[in-house]
A = this chain, B = another copy of it.
Amino acid sequence: MTHFADRLAEAVRKKGNPLCVGLDPRWESLPRQLRDRHADGTLAGASAAIEAFCLKVLELVAARVPVVKPQSAFFEAFGPPGLAAMQSVIRRARALGLVVILDSKRGDIASTAEAYADAAFAGTPLDGKPIPVWDADALTVNPYLGQDAIDPFLQSARQSGRGLFVLVRTSNPGGGLFQDLDCGGRKVYEQVAAAVASWGRDRRGACGLSDVGAVVGATRSEELASLRRDLPETWFLVPGYGAQGAGARYVAGAFRPDGLGAIVNSSRGITFCFHPDEPGWEQAITAATDRATTELAAVMNG
């Protein structure tokens, strides 16, 4: 079983760029052609459309990028059939050799966290036999509930060769309300960062990075560079590039000298870079992907 950090490093090296394509399927942003084909006023019809859209996106980006990140909220929005679509999308992405980060930002007390971790990774045990549920390579988790809420995720990730990305500093404008509170000279997010580093200790792969990553917003470039120095063994998942306003230069500080250490996400900037009524949305997606990978490859290699 290859270590998650090494699988991620290998994917980044193979594709030559650190782009993560975020899959946030919104009904109103889908190509009109797909909506017209599936629309029947039900969540099942809408789910068929988002599934078809995401599968097409995977086909377009699979040779170009190392990672995709389904945002579970946009599948959950369509109820059980939407989540069945998410399963299908994750399965196809992994079959295409993409690393899949399931962005669910889960967090709960230990016994509940264990149920979430089983679903994300090894499968839910039925009479001793684990049955796969989401079966992703990595999961985003929320640290607010503390140590024993993170432990089941750490244990499950290690046992099944998967990874975690713990929210440290988020990219949204109001993210500082609690994350930036000063606790005796260290901000809350710096305390979380220190915990992430300690959780990852003794869990490094051959690439020198651990399977416990951090979500660090790209809209704050100094913080990103400072966290890179403090957390030399931590993979960063950097949202905020593209539609959320940050350019490639903002993320430059997130990489190690060898070009590894950061995955940079773009969701709407890739998958909704076209007007729904526009023909040729597939070409628009590949063009946007190629622009982003070129820009990020240059930054990654310093």
Of B84, B113, B116, B143, the residue contacting A144 (CB under 8 A) is: B143
Interface string of A21-48 (1 = CB under 8 A from B): 0001011100000000001011100100
By the criterion CB–CB under 8 Å, are A145 and B126 in contact?
Answer: no
By the criterion CB–CB under 8 Å, are B74 and A179 in contact?
Answer: no
The reply on A124 being an interface residue by CB < 8 A is: yes
Quick check: which of A9-17, A157-165, A183-191, A292-300 contacts chain B, the rest being far away?
A: A183-191
By the criterion CB–CB under 8 Å, are A188 and B177 in contact?
Answer: no
The reply on A266 being an interface residue by CB < 8 A is: no
**In the complex, chain B residues whose CB is within 8 Å of the CB of A24:** 111-112
CA distance A166 to B128 in the complex (A): 35
In the assembled complex, how far is the CB of residue A195 from the closest CB belonging to chain B, in whole angstroms? 7
The reply on A167 being an interface residue by CB < 8 A is: yes
Interface string of A126-142 (1 = CB under 8 A from B): 11010101100000001
The reply on A148 being an interface residue by CB < 8 A is: yes
The reply on A170 being an interface residue by CB < 8 A is: yes
- Given A80-B80, A105-B108, 19 more A-B residue pairs with CB atoms under 8 Å apart are A24-B112, A28-B127, A46-B126, A71-B108, A73-B108, A73-B119, A74-B112, A76-B116, A77-B119, A79-B119, A79-B133, A80-B83, A80-B87, A142-B142, A143-B178, A144-B178, A144-B179, A177-B195, A183-B183
Q: Which residues on A are within 8 Å of B, measured CB to CB?
A: 24, 26-28, 39, 41-43, 46, 71, 73-74, 76-81, 83-84, 87, 105-113, 115-116, 118-119, 124-127, 129, 131, 133-134, 142-149, 151, 167, 170-179, 181-184, 188, 191-192, 195, 239
Q: What are 8 A-B interface contacts by the 8 Å CB criterion?
A: A77-B124, A79-B87, A105-B108, A107-B142, A146-B174, A146-B176, A178-B188, A183-B183
